[in-house]
Amino acid sequence: MIKATYKKYILNFKNPSGTSRGILKTKETWFIILEKNGKKGIGETGLFRGLSIDDVSNYEEKLIWVCANINLGLEKLVSVVVEFPSIQFGLEQAFLSLKSKSEFELFPSKFTKGKEAIAINGLIWMGAQQFMKNQIKEKLKMGFSCIKMKIGAIDFDAEIELLKSIRKEFSSKEIELRVDANGAFNPKNALEKLQRLSALEIHSIEQPIKQGQVQEMAELCAKTPLPIALDEELIGVFTSEEKQELLATIKPQFIILKPSLIGGFGGSKEWINFAAQNKCDWWITSALESNIGLNAIAQFTYTLQSNLPQGLGTGGLFTNNFESPLEVKNGTLTYNPTLNWNFNLT
């Protein structure tokens, strides 16, 4: 018999981080802990307030129910909590962790042996122009050749100037620039903004307009001068039929997969299959999980062998993250097996 418990944990940002949803100072998360025959399994259910579809008042009740019914097994539990994608993901991790030789090595590979790395983008947070400029300089010093910049919070002209200043110094061959609008553009003027951005040889733009405007997004994807990546658009789309229909209707150039928000490994694989049918590429991004969730996402991502930079560089954002073998080096995420885990929830 498996015994299951859960625990809440508050992650504190080193620096308040600006997004289109406001300034983040803390991020709450939960852990499912399984125990059987002296072995432990750990999974993070990374709820994201204001973004996750499962940001609902009965979230903890659902965790209590899951822990009480843990012996139904993974498959049954995952099918019951379909509308709680972060809990699905936490359960997948916890069961894998319980079965694994080491509770943190979920997908043994050349990555977990420290022999290969995952290319990642450097994330630039929203804020005043100088603050954003400083972050860009820092990321370039750290060896990143792909930078993702959040846009839509300051004046668009100022953001264009900032991007222009990067392009003056670095060509698109030297630095790949991705931008993420988090739905900040209006469908009426989005195309004009995309045209201005495309002049700067931007690799792609995430979610230019708010999710749920399917026809408008389909029109944009058909006319866009630069590739569009769907992000928030995938949240809350639960059935296979809905997923297929969404991608067939919008025909995006990319989709972005956040396992905590779309049903974990299973949900991600399903989206990837439908993306392939629609000649659409993808990459995987963390959603401000602790190193426990980030580790699971990174190990899973490595097994998929994508050749695009992934969005997995968020481990260093918190003051009270768990010590782990994950390290960011020269624009890549690496796993250093000589370093130990320190998973302490007190």
Query: What are the pLDDT digits (tens) for 309-330?
Result: 999 988 888 999 999 999 999 9
Mean pLDDT of the region 131-151: 88
Q: How many domains does the chain have?
A: 2
Bridge partners, residue 5, by sequence: 33
- Residue 53 is predicted with a pLDDT of 97
109 domain residue, yes or no: no
Hey, how many other C-beta atoms are within 10 angstroms of the C-beta on 79? 10
**What are the backbone dihedrals phi and psi of residue 186, each rounded to the nearest 5 degrees, phi first?**
-90, 135
Q: Whose CA is closest to 337, among 114, 133, 28, 22?
A: 114
345 domain residue, yes or no: no
- Residue 20 is predicted with a pLDDT of 60
Structural domain harbouring 15: 3-99
- Residue 18 is predicted with a pLDDT of 64
- Residue 24 is predicted with a pLDDT of 83
Q: Are residues 149 and 16 in the same domain?
A: no
302 domain residue, yes or no: yes
Q: Which amino acid would we find at residue 77?
A: L
Q: Whose CA is closest to 299, among 27, 108, 31?
A: 108
pTM: 0.95
User: What are 42's two structure tokens?
Assistant: 């750990």
Q: Are residues 92 and 32 in the same domain?
A: yes
Q: Are residues 45 and 158 in the same domain?
A: no
- Residue 112 is predicted with a pLDDT of 98
344 domain residue, yes or no: no
Q: Are residues 265 and 220 in the same domain?
A: yes
Q: Which long-range contacts (CB under 8 A, 24 or more apart) does 217-222 make?
A: 217/250, 217/252, 218/249, 218/250, 218/251, 220/187, 220/190, 220/191, 220/194, 221/250, 221/251, 221/252, 221/253, 222/251
Q: Is the dihedral of CA 262, 267, 273, 274 positive or negative?
A: negative
Q: Are residues 218 and 274 in the same domain?
A: yes
- Which of 158-167, 278-287, 332-341 is the least confident region? 158-167
62 domain residue, yes or no: yes
Strand stretches in the chain, DSSP E: 3-19, 22-36, 39-45, 118-119, 122-124, 146-150, 176-180, 204-206, 228-230, 254-257, 281-284, 326-329, 332-335
Q: Are residues 18 and 158 in the same domain?
A: no
CATH number for the domain that contains residue 252: 3.20.20.120
Which residues are annotated as catalytic?
Answer: 150, 258
Q: Are residues 230 and 291 in the same domain?
A: yes
52 domain residue, yes or no: yes
Q: Are residues 148 and 61 in the same domain?
A: no
CATH number for the domain that contains residue 86: 3.30.390.10
Place of tokens 């990174």: 298
User: What are 65's two structure tokens?
Assistant: 């129910």
Q: Are residues 156 and 238 in the same domain?
A: yes
Hey, how many other C-beta atoms are within 10 angstroms of the C-beta on 266? 17
Q: Are residues 133 and 227 in the same domain?
A: yes
Contact call for residues 234 and 271 (beta carbons, < 8 A): yes
Q: Are residues 80 and 127 in the same domain?
A: no
104 domain residue, yes or no: no
Indicate if the pLDDT at residue 269 is higher than 90.
Answer: yes
Q: Which 3 state secondary structure label does DSSP give 323?
A: strand
Mean pLDDT of the region 227-237: 97
Q: Are residues 28 and 142 in the same domain?
A: no
341 domain residue, yes or no: no
- Residue 125 is predicted with a pLDDT of 79
21 band by pLDDT with thresholds 50, 70 and 90:
low
CA dihedral (207, 208, 210, 215) in degrees, to 10, reads -100
Place of tokens 């733009």: 205
User: Which of 34, 68, 99 corresponds to the end of one domain?
Assistant: 99
